[in-house]
Amino acid sequence: MRLSLAYEMQRPVVDDHAVIQETLEQCVLADRMGFDAIWFVEHHFLTSFSMSPCPEVIFGALSQLTKRIRLGFGVVILPYHHPVRVAERVAMVDHMSGGRVEFGTGRSAPYEQMGMGIDPRNSRAMWEESLRMIPRIWEDGPFSWEGQFWNVPPRDVRPKPYQKPHPPIWVAALQPATYELAAETGIGVMALSVAAPSYLAPHIKQYKERVRHAKPVGKFINDQWLSSTMALCDWDNKGARELAAKSLRTFFGPDRPYLKDQTHLYEQLVASWGGVPEHLKANFARYLKTEGAAGSPEGAGAPQVDLSGGSGQIAAALWNQIDADTLVDRGVLVAGDPDSCLRGIAIHEDAGVDELQFLMATETVPHEKVMTSMELFGKHVIPELKKKAGAAQRRA
């Protein structure tokens, strides 16, 4: 099981310089503590929530400040950029880092797309056309293309990637249709929905079966599944769990511009976090309905939130009351003391996850807490995972 870190570069009050300096410090420590990768998002217009519009710039610094940790574009929003520029930037970072790049792709959401002048209805087709272009741009010799959105006359595009034939390719995925497309095109899944491993396990199994028959867009199949979650390690077991839960709720808060008018979101979150906990069913009994096996993704008798009355406020209230211990026990969060974190990681590993991506540095978690958490992972969690992996290899 690989462990990685995700960066939104959040800040509750805009302080651009401080967040950049703290992020660099954290990433250097992550390299030293044995994390496998750091992933930077690409977001625009999300003031205070995310200040990571150009990962390739910060990777220029980190390629020289770190020695072994992999640098993940998590993700490049392909509709915003000419595919030639994407290919050039990713290849350049790959050279500067000595071949440590992971190339994640995505297409963002309407709030950002419209700010960039992109018609959301075109974003899927633009993503797919760019995805098919970039591996060909990385091949030796001149490249040319005539497509729906881009036309390139014969040109030799340099540099080519340092990794041969090219870096691993991924896609950000929040729904089964994208998991299926990833399997068909032979690229890795970045499941960024922060869901319970039990909820994702059937999708992981299906992806692993389908990806074996892929027609890859690149030169090889990347058959890896990455799941994302919030994480925080501290000797104060209860305090770490509560702070991680607060971080999660803030992340999906109703004030977020990209969540505006998505009244269905909290119903989906309750389902993806494993459904309504037993201790909350009595409080919300009149709002719950029971569907048969055909109508419920969790099988017969699974409680669903009934939003037939309208706004989704009931689902939001229920989502907000799922306690930290339940979230940790279900693997939605990896938080608490080192033993608690190891148990949470094991839940994801049992579900078939290849890489577990942690979002530690959020607007609700102070820099010092993030640094302490990374040190505890490096001293008490990662060594135990390596021992376990070594023992499994010896048995094999």
Query: Which DSSP state fits 7?
Result: E
Give the Å distances, CA to CA, from 142 to 93, 132, 136, 146, 217. 21, 16, 10, 14, 18
pTM score: 0.91
For the chain, residues with pLDDT lower than 70 are 12-14, 257-263, 282-316
Q: Residue 304: what pLDDT? A: 54
Residue 75 has what pLDDT? 95
Q: Are 140 and 208 in contact (CB under 8 A)?
A: no
Domains and CATH numbers, the chain: 2-237+325-395 (3.20.20.30), 255-324 (no CATH)
**What is the C-alpha to C-alpha distance for residues 392 and 396, in angstroms, rounded to an integer?**
6
For position 387, what pLDDT does the model report? Answer: 92
Which residues are 279's β-sheet partners?
Answer: none
**What is residue 307's predicted lDDT score, i.e. its pLDDT?**
45
Q: How many angstroms separate the first and last alpha carbons of the chain?
A: 16
**Whole-angstrom Cα distance, residue 259 to residue 278?**
28
CA dist 114 and 102 (Å) reads 27
Closest CA to 93 of 83, 101, 82: 101
Does residue 88 sit in helix, strand or coil? helix
pLDDT at residue 301, as a whole number: 41
